[in-house]
Structure formats: C-alpha cells, structure tokens
Amino acid sequence: MAVNTDKNSYTILFAIAMVVVVGSLLAFTASSLRPNIEENERMEKQQNILYAMGINGNEGTSDITFISTAEVAEAFSTKVSEQIVLEYKDGQIIQEMTREEYMEANNKQEPYLIDVKKQQTRTKEGKSRFLPLFKGATKDGDTVYVAPIRGKGLWDAIWGYIALDKNMVVKGAFFDHAGETPGLGANIKQRYFMDDFEGEHLLSESGAFKGINVAKGNNDPRNDRKEDHAVDALAGATITGDGISDMIRNDLKLYLPYFKNLKTN
Amino acid sequence: MGLLSKKDAKLITDPLTDNNPITIQVLGICSALAITAELKASLVMGIAVLFVLGVGNVVISLMRNIIPSKIRIIVQLIVVASLVIIVDQVLKAYAFELSKTLSVFIGLIITNCIIMGRFEAFALGNGPWRSFLDGIGNALGYAVILIIVGFFRELLGSGSLFGFPVLGDAIEKTGVYSIGYENNGFMLMPPMALIIVGLIIWVQRSRNKDLIED
C-alpha cells in the first residue's frame, strides 16, 4: 500500500501520532522508573555526605570510591550523629532545629534531602532559608560538620559537600557537576582536586570569612600552604573553578554565625 | 569477513578509512574538540555513539517509507532524542554509577551531526540491515579518530593514559619529568584537538591522493 507522504493532511496526522506515541513512551518510562531513580539519588546524597566526612572506600591514590550502596543506609544513620537545620535570614540564624523538629514542620522531609537550589531562590525572594548541617565524626574520631553548597559551572550546575571542623577548617570536600566538559571542568570530581581542599582555612586570622579561591598561578601543586585561602586551579577549567570559589564563598559564609556561636560555647 | 557480503563489509570498512566521518566528511567535529582531553572520555563517547547510531539508523530505516519528507528532520531529531533519554532513564534506574559517567555526554550525543547526517544520507534510503552496518561503521570511524586525538592530548597534556601516569609524576619530578620534561597544558585546550585532527587529515590525504579535493 503506497501512501502519499507529501500530502499536508498526512504530514499533520503523522506529526500528531508521533507526538502521542513518543510522549506516552517517555512518560511511561519516566513514571515507571521514578521509584528506582529516587532511591538511587537518595543513596547518592548519603554517599556524598559520608564521602566528605572521610567515610569512603578510598585506598591510597585510588579514584573516588563511595561507601557501597549496601552499607550506606546503616553508615549514614550511625556516623551522622545529628542533622541540624538552621533557619537563616538577613545575615542571622533565627532558629536552630533538630532533625525531628524540622521533619515535624516540613511534611516529614529528611533534612539531607533539602534542595539547596530551592533554598537559594527563597533568599532571593526575601524569605528565610533553611541551611542543613550534618554533624558526625571522621574515621579518626574528629567532630566535623558537613554543609551542602551549590553554584554554577560553565555549562550547568555544580554542587558539593564540605566537611568543616569547629574553626571552619576544611576536613574533606566533595564536588560534583551536571555537565562540565570531560577532561577539563569535569575534573573537579577528581581526587587530586578535591583532596587539595583538605586543611584549607575558610576564616582569616581575625575570624573574618575569606573563603577559598581556586586560583591560577597559585604555584602550590602539593598544596603545602594551607592558610593562603587558595588551591591550584585546573588547566582549561577557569570558569568551573571560579564557580567553585563562588559557591564556597556564597553558601558557607551563611554558616558563619553558627560556627562563631559554637566556638564561644 | 564470511558473514558479510563484500558490499556490506565496505559499509563498515569505508568509514574507518577513506570515508571517515570526521576527517573526510568533517562531521562531529564539535564533540571531537570538546571531550578528547582524556582517553577515557573519548572511549566512552565512542561507545555511546556506536549504540545510538546503530539503533537509530535501524529505527529510521524501518520508518523510511512512512516519514513525511517535509518534517523528516524533526522526526529524526525526535527519534534520536527519545532514544537517548530512554537509555539515560534506564541507566539511572539500574546502573546509576554508569549513568553518572555518561550524563555529560547525553546532550553531546543528541546534537552530534554524524547521527543526523547518517539518518539523512543513508538510513532514509536503505534497508534496516545495511543501515545498521552503516551506523556501526561510521560510529567506529568516529571513535577511532576520537581515540587517536584523546591519546595524544592526554599523553602530552597530562602525561597520562586512561588516568594512569605513564610518564612519571609531574609534581614529584619522577620519570621523564626528572630530566626537565614538562606537560604541555595547551594540549588540554580544545584548539589542539583541531590541530591534531588537521594532522590526521594531512597524513591521510598524503597517503591517498584521491581524497584531495580541487
């Protein structure tokens, strides 16, 4: 049966049929796979937080290795001793909530699932914003506080988790990205980049917030200078690196009142 | 090749040599520049395109008699985009780690001109089996160039291959670095991919004068 594929009516019918078929196929795939995908993303967040705390499968100079998905739920519940949620507005922390208090007030949402992007838009709208903070212990038993950060890279979102001690010295860092260039910006997810942040100070001597710059010409490849507020940039990834500096500065600065308070107590 | 007739075998071997999609047809240059800073990314991209082009060519070929010619480009675009999205979703659900590795390539695959080029030039006029072979052949031709470029860029730019430091440690000055060798950071920049592709084109055309256009 030969159809005249040049007729306008045929073209329109074909377009409609195609849209319906493809649309329902995609919708069906997306909705039937959603539970699995959500579960995977949930575990990934736990793995990332634990990674920043130093609870991971890294051995020697291996690639980044997360704790296995089989162990992650148990490790997360035992190693993260407290999930704190701070309510922040206009440079001040107006409320400090425990996990239970937060979940009570927010439809039973776990604090580690707080969407940092949504919270950032709340600040822009002039509303208060929730800052999650995960208290736990590293492998050596030091107390650390892990905070999520999020910002813009060259092509798409970049985000990460930074583990800090009570003086806001970095104890561990984890970065990830949605679509940075493989081999260039995507290298923020490499250990040699993340590991450089360990030991870097966020605060100046006087206690003011300075952040960490991903700096070109830092000339410190072994990262011997821990108090210069800078780590070596990646070749060919200037904008991604600037995105890292920005998100560290913008998001971690908000936690400053909490850490100041922690020190005086 | 006993399995394939001579004509069919040419569909696979031609794109590897005298009708290479990158060096002769000059398609797919954008992704060849973007992701060849390291060998692993080149390999992953090659495999992903191999899959999408093989399957996509078959789908388009099966539909070739019912696609209205006025909207064929849009139809091709929809086929490749939905194919890629479905694969991405399935990977996210059942092979999460792998999907994280591939995520950045998704956009690059959909916009890869080799895919649209082969749909348009071959799959619309040929049967599914021949289209499949054509897809595989072109994807392999693409992958070969990517891997060659990735090999040189990673070796000269980072002193490693597949992330393994083959030239010694640049920071601790071991291996060749101990005699004053330095990595060439410029190799990591996209323009160097173009220069390496240019060198490949030069070599290829000086070996086979038939390829030189007037």
- The answer to whether B204 and B211 have CB atoms below 8 angstroms apart is yes
User: Average pLDDT over chain A, rounded to whole?
Assistant: 89
**A142-169: average pLDDT:** 93
Residue A14 included in any domain: no
Give yes or no for residue A1 having a pLDDT over 70.
Answer: no
Give the pairing of strands A213-215 and A230-232. parallel
pLDDT of residue B25: 81
Residue A45 included in any domain: no
Tell the residue number behind the tokens 């909530």, with chain if given.
Answer: A97
| Contact assignment for A5 to B86 by CB distance below 8 Å | no
Give yes or no for residue B99 having a pLDDT over 90.
Answer: no
**A144-164: average pLDDT:** 94
| Contact assignment for B37 to A183 by CB distance below 8 Å | yes
- Contact list in B for residue A221 (CB cut-off 8 A) is 170-171
Q: Which residue of A has its CA nearest to B85?
A: A26
- Contact list in A for residue B96 (CB cut-off 8 A) is 40, 44
**B73-101: average pLDDT:** 86
pLDDT, tens digit, 9 for 90 and up, residues A54-83:
888 888 777 788 888 888 888 898 889 889
pLDDT of residue B214: 65
- Percent of chain B at pLDDT > 70 equals 98
Give yes or no for residue B173 having a pLDDT over 50.
Answer: yes
Residue A208 included in any domain: yes
- Contact list in B for residue A179 (CB cut-off 8 A) is 103-104, 107
Write a three-state SS string for chain A.
Answer: CCCCCCCHHHHHHHHHHHHHHHHHHHHHHHHHHHHHHHHHHHHHHHHHHHHHCCCCCCCCCCCCCCCCHHHHHHHHHHHEEEEEEEEEECCEEEEEECHHHHHHHCCCCCHHHCCHHHHHHHHHCCCCEEEEEEEEECCCCCEEEEEEEEEECCCCEEEEEEEECCCCEEEEEEEEECCCCCCCHHHHHCHHHHHHHCCCECECCCCCECCCEEECCCCCCCCCCCCCCEEECCCCCHHHHHHHHHHHHHHHHHHHHHHHHHHHC
Please tell me if residue A29 touches chain B, with a CB cutoff of 8 Å.
yes
pLDDT, tens digit, 9 for 90 and up, residues B184-196:
888 888 888 999 9
Which domain does A55 fall in, by range? 50-264
Q: Residue A249: which pLDDT band, with cuts at 50, 70 and 90?
A: very high
- Contact list in A for residue B157 (CB cut-off 8 A) is 235
Q: Residue B174: which pLDDT band, with cuts at 50, 70 and 90?
A: confident
Residue A223 included in any domain: yes
State how far residue B29 is from chain A, nearest Cα, in angstroms: 15
Cα-based distances in Å from A168 to A171, A256, B86: 9, 8, 43
pLDDT of residue B2: 57
| Contact assignment for B90 to A22 by CB distance below 8 Å | no
> Which site among A37, A47, A218 would you substitute to test the B interface, given the most B Cβ atoms closer than 10 Å to its Cβ?
A37
pLDDT of residue B1: 47
Q: Residue A28: which pLDDT band, with cuts at 50, 70 and 90?
A: very high
Q: Give the count of domains, chain A.
A: 1
d(CA A235, CA B194): 18
Residue A22 included in any domain: no
- Contact list in B for residue A178 (CB cut-off 8 A) is 103-104
Nearest to B38 among A3, A25, A182 (CB): A182
User: Looking at A189-193, B79-83, B179-183, which range is the least confident one?
Assistant: B179-183
| Contact assignment for B68 to A10 by CB distance below 8 Å | yes
**A237-257: average pLDDT:** 93
